[in-house]
Amino acid sequence: MTDAYVAIEGGHVLTGRARAPGTARGELVFTTAYTGYEESLTDPSYAEQVLTFSYPLIGNYGVRDERFESADVQPTAVVARELTDDVAEWLTEEGVPAIDHLDTRDVVTEVREEGAMQCGIAAGPDATPEDARAELDRCKAMSDHVDIGAAVSVTEPTVHEGDGRYDVALVDCGAKGSIVSSLVERGADVTVLPYDTTATTVAELDPDVLFVSNGPGDPENFGAAQELVGEFAGEVPIAGICLGQQIVASALGGRTEKMTFGHRGVNQPVRDLETGQVVMTTQNHGYTVAEPGDDLDVTQVNVNDDTPEGLESDALDVLTRQYHPEANPGPHDSLGFFDDVLGMAEARVAPTAD
């Protein structure tokens, strides 16, 4: 049955089977992950994107809400070779259009060759190719989503208690839940702050670490977070993950750029420049740090394309990662990042510990 359509920038329309009805639009991207579909579908970094799964069967171990990274499905629509009924029902309940029974190998190949593209989705018994094209016509580039932070951030400060050893102020630009839990499990009290939090609010908290989260879109659209980094660099240890790394670099004189198709999957190899060790990582980003600036050193790079995966400054107490050390269901090669972050906090609180 053909009752679903994907209109892609450039003019052509793909056809498939509707698994969850509706219309949507967004940037067409793909992930190479073969597990962790629950985590991917609830990752706020996929906001305003249409997520294509390259692995052919999605949903073979059900849907469990304890694996969610946020309360909602985040992509605007989902494309797969085959979705199980469990996942299709979940997406239907969430109001997120989903399409399967198309050749995702062709979709992935086109995105790799042409880059991430705008697309329109129409799925359901009354859907037409014209509906999909109309959605495409209304689709904005990711850099034009200037208020994307408001869609994925908390609106009021929220406290998650550890055992009180450290106080972390987490700037929520679309934070995954597992970042918070990774810090809490290590004894930190985490105050999750809106993406547009002011320096006055952070100063009143007097945190041991200022942590900038992952999130969707262009780092240049997170000006308030950049201002926080610029205000507190050198005074409070600063950490960041994914979008957080890009925001930190931009705030400290670096430059970011959009990638052709980004890194999205659970098998991205990263090499540490000091030790030579290579670890496998989970990633989900369409922008990268092009130039780190004078204050930050590149300490880790992607084996495939040499893009920066880790930035550090001993003088400013800054530590960032482009990948997701906390990723569920893995790999967990780089979980020690959180120990290193809280090590910066320990160094700050130790003089007054007695």
Known catalytic residues are 242, 324, 326
User: Angle at the Cα of 44 (from 73 to 179), degrees rounded to 5?
Assistant: 115
CA distances to 71, 82, 91, 263 from 86, rounded to whole Å, are 17, 12, 9, 27
CB 46 within 8 A of CB 216: yes
In the block, tokens 């509706």 appear at 22
Please indicate if the annotation marks 246 as binding a ligand: yes
Q: For CA atoms 194, 195, 198, 199, give the dihedral sign.
A: positive
Please indicate if the annotation marks 60 as binding a ligand: no
C-alpha 247/C-alpha 140 separation (Å) is 22
CB 30 within 8 A of CB 52: yes
Q: Which residues pair with 280 in a beta bridge?
A: 269
Please indicate if the annotation marks 215 as binding a ligand: yes
CB 300 within 8 A of CB 309: yes
Please indicate if the annotation marks 183 as binding a ligand: no
Structure tokens at 236: 């409070």
Please indicate if the annotation marks 254 as binding a ligand: no
Q: Estimate to the nearest angstrom the gap between the alpha carbon of 300 and the chain centroid.
A: 19
Dihedral in degrees, nearest 10, Cα atoms 19, 85, 263, 131: 10
Helices (H), the chain: 37-41, 85-94, 104-114, 129-137, 148-152, 177-184, 199-205, 223-232, 243-251, 336-349
Structure tokens at 105: 């190998």
Residue 119: which residues within 8 A CB-CB, separation 6 or more?
6, 7, 8, 9, 25, 26, 27, 28, 50, 132, 135, 136, 139
DSSP string, 45-83: GGTTEEEEE-SSEE-TT---GGG-SSSS--SSEEE-SEE
Please indicate if the annotation marks 334 as binding a ligand: no
Residues at the annotated binding site for L-glutamine?
45, 215, 217, 243, 246, 284, 286-287
Residues at the annotated binding site?
45, 215, 217, 243, 246, 284, 286-287
